[in-house]
Amino acid sequence: MMRAAIAAFLLTTTSLALAGGDELVPPVADPVVKKECGSCHMAFPPQFLPRRSWQKLVDGLASHFGEDASLPEAQRAAVLRYHLEHAADAPGAGRAASKFAASIPAGETPLRITETPRWVREHRKIKPERWKSPEVKSRLNCVACHKDAERGSWDD
Amino acid sequence: MKTWSLLAVAASAGLVASVALAEPRRDAILADLREQAKKEDPRFAGFSAERGATLYRATHQGKDGPISCSTCHGSTPLGNGQTRLGKAIDPMAVSKNPARYTDSANVEKWFKRNCTEVLGRGCTATEKGDFITFMSGQ
């Protein structure tokens, strides 16, 4: 039993390691962020947008892509802090984060992960009808295809 | 003194008896809403599960087309719902999800967002109480 558990653990860590650093993003760990950002959509990893984007998104939560997603001050501050600390261009955010950061021109502040050049390039082979299928529904439904995304692996 | 202790005993006995049936935090939320409802409407005569059911199913003209609570929460509150972005929503019915309507800040947050989204305005205290009363019986 114990040995099986260890073997499973080693297998998981090994395959995650083999997947390559740019497919690995630590899942959102903060309980406030998980709850407040993860009710309507997956709590997207802060690593996919730069700090300036998160600042603008959190400032604009009262009209979040047309919906009121405003937060009480304590939660708003906690969400912003977490995103700034783990953003694509935050120090030590990792290889996947750096690749996103590097793909975004300095003068641009994208508000959608799906508009970043890296996201677009990585998804260029996905057929348009695939996005509309009932199990996918939306480009924001990452876990429809990236089954292990919420555990940190974005390998496809 | 004697009356007080008798009252206390009666109160705690009542509390123990009602624990299995009711959730004190939900009762407190409903009690607050009842007070607000009386202030909003002097003719207020209690919450109604039927009005709550009607509110849940009524279709309104949203900014992206027809919308009701059930659009995202499901045709029956006993099942899971799904957000427009494909994320599952836990059931709204208390029998399926006893944690519902027990955190007043959370309850207010979602009424604020979703009444605006579906009705194009904030909900009245009566509507909120009707809604929770309906869900408590489901």
**What is the dotted CATH code of the domain comprising B22-136?**
1.10.760.10
Higher pLDDT, B87 or A47: A47
Q: Which two tokens stand for residue B117?
A: 């989204």
CB contacts of A137 in chain B (<8 Å) are 84-86
Does the structure show a pLDDT above 60 at A20? Answer: no
CB contacts of A72 in chain B (<8 Å) are 105, 109
pLDDT of residue A3: 57
Higher pLDDT, A68 or B137: B137
A98 and A90 in contact (C-beta within 8 Å)? no
B85 → closest Cβ in A40, A66, A68: A40
C-alpha to C-alpha distance for B87 and B43, rounded to whole angstroms: 41
Does the structure show a pLDDT above 80 at B47? Answer: yes
Chain A residues at the B interface, defined by Cβ less than 8 Å, are: 38-42, 66-69, 72, 136-138, 140-141, 144
Tell me if B117 and A144 make a contact (CB, 8 A cut-off).
Answer: no
Q: Which of B73, B107, B108, B109 to mutate to test the interface with A (most CBs of A within 10 A)?
A: B109
pLDDT of residue B104: 95
- Residue type for position A94: G
Closest CA to A117 of A105, A126, A130: A105
pLDDT per position as a tens digit, B3-38:
455 445 444 444 443 334 579 999 999 999 999 999
**Average pLDDT of chain A?**
87
pLDDT per position as a tens digit, B98-133:
999 999 999 999 999 999 989 999 999 999 999 999
pLDDT per position as a tens digit, A109-149:
999 999 999 999 999 999 989 998 888 888 999 999 999 99
CB contacts of B87 in chain A (<8 Å) are 38-42, 141
pLDDT per position as a tens digit, A60-109:
998 999 888 989 899 999 999 999 999 999 998 889 899 999 999 999 99
CB contacts of B117 in chain A (<8 Å) are 67-68
B135 and B96 in contact (C-beta within 8 Å)? no
pLDDT of residue A104: 95
Spans of all domains in chain B: 22-136
Tell me if B85 and A136 make a contact (CB, 8 A cut-off).
Answer: no
DSSP B138: -
Spans of all domains in chain A: 2-151
Q: Which two tokens stand for residue A45?
A: 């990893």
CB atoms within 10 A of CB A48: 26
